[in-house]
Amino acid sequence: MAAKREALSDKIAIDMTPMIDVVFQLITFFMLTLKTVITEGDFDIRMPLGTSAGAPADDPLPPVRVKMTAGAGGERTSLTMNGQGVGDFDELRRRVIDLVGTGPGSNADRTEVELDCDPNLKYENVIRAVTAVSGMVQPDGTVVELIKKIKFAPPKKR
Amino acid sequence: MARKQSDGPSKTDIDMTPMIDMTFQLITFFVFTLNFSTAVQDDRVQLPMSQLAKPAEGPSIEPITLQLMDDGNVIYSGEPVPLQDIGGHLENEKRVMISASKEPSSATVIVRADGRSKTGDVQELIKICQEKGFEKFVLRAQYDESK
C-alpha cells in the first residue's frame, strides 16, 4: 500500500523538447512574415472626361481657384486663392473656412476647388494644398471636413 | 566537503515555465500583427505626408495602382516604365477588364506619386489614364501622425 501511494505521488516528467521546437519554429515563421505596413490614405479627385461628363451639383457655387507657381527647382514660389495671395497652407485653410463655413449650413458640399499648378511644382505641395482645403484636424483629433470636390485645372503646355 | 561532492553530479532542474510563457506571448504578438493585406507599397516611392490621409474603410473597387517615382518613371507590376510608355500597359488593363465584362470607368486608379515628383508628371499620368477610359482617381498620401 505504501509503495502504491509513493508511485502515485511521483511527478511524471513530460519531455518538453518537441513542443519547444515547434514553438520556436512558429515564432520564426511569424517573425519572418512580419510586414510593417505604413498607414496610407486616399484623396478622391474629380477628373471627369470632357465637360459633359460628371453631373453638376445642384446650385453649384463658383469654384475656388487655388494657384501655385514653382521656381526652377520645383519649390513653391507663390500660393493664391481666387487671385489673392496666401502666405501658407494654414492660411489657405482659414480662408476656405471663412468662405464656406463649417458645421450645418456650410457651403462646403456645393463648392469645388480647382488646383492650378506649375508643371514642375513638387507634388507634395499639391497634397498639402488638398489637405488644407479638404479638412481640418481639431486638437481633440476629430476631423472637420471641408471641400471634398477637388479637381486639377487642365495641364499647361511644358 | 562531502556535501559539495554529492551536489555536483545531481541533475539541475531548469524551470521551463517562464520561457514557455514568454514564447507564447511572442507567438501571440506575431499572430496578431500578421497582415494578409496585399496593399501595394514600394520603397522607391516616398509618399507625401498628410494629416488627413486616413485609410479607407473598404478596399477600392477594381484598383489599378500606378506608382510615380521622382525621376518620372512609373512602377507598373514592379518594373519601372517610362511615363510615355504606360499607355500600352493601361491598354492591356482595359482589355482585361472588357474581357471580364467590366467597364474601365468602374476601375479606381490609385496614384501613388512620390512627394518630390513633378505635378506635371502626375497630371500627365492622369491624362493618359483618362484617354484609356479610366475615370476614378485617388491620390494616395502617407498618414502624418506628428500633430
pLDDT 10s digits, A40-98: 888 888 776 654 444 555 666 788 888 998 888 888 888 888 888 888 888 888 888 88
Considering CB atoms only, which of B26, B49, B110 is closest to A42? Answer: B110
Residue B101 and residue B103: Cα distance in Å, rounded? 7
Contacts of A37 in chain B (CB under 8 A): 35, 37, 39, 41
Q: Is there a contact between A78 and A70 (Cβ–Cβ < 8 Å)?
A: no
Chain A residue with the nearest C-alpha to that of B53:
A41
State the nearest Cα–Cα gap between B5 and chain A, in angstroms. Answer: 26
How far is C-alpha A69 from the chain's CA centre? 24
DSSP state of B118: B
Residue B28, pLDDT score: 92
Q: Do B124 and A155 touch (CB under 8 A)?
A: yes
Contacts of A155 in chain B (CB under 8 A): 120, 123-124, 127
Chain B residue with the nearest C-alpha to that of A124:
B115
Could you tell me which residue, B30 or B42, shows the higher pLDDT?
B30
Contacts of B51 in chain A (CB under 8 A): 131, 137
Task: Tell whether pTM > 0.95.
Answer: no
State the nearest Cα–Cα gap between A2 and chain B, in angstroms. Answer: 26
User: The cell 483629433 sits on which residue?
Assistant: A141
Residue B41, pLDDT score: 76
| Residues sharing a CB contact under 8 Å with residue B75, sequence separation 6 or more, in sequence order | B42, B44, B45, B66, B67, B68, B69, B81
- What ipTM score was computed for the predicted complex, to two decimals? 0.75
Considering CB atoms only, which of B34, B53, B113 is closest to A123? Answer: B113
Average of per-residue pLDDT values in chain A: 81
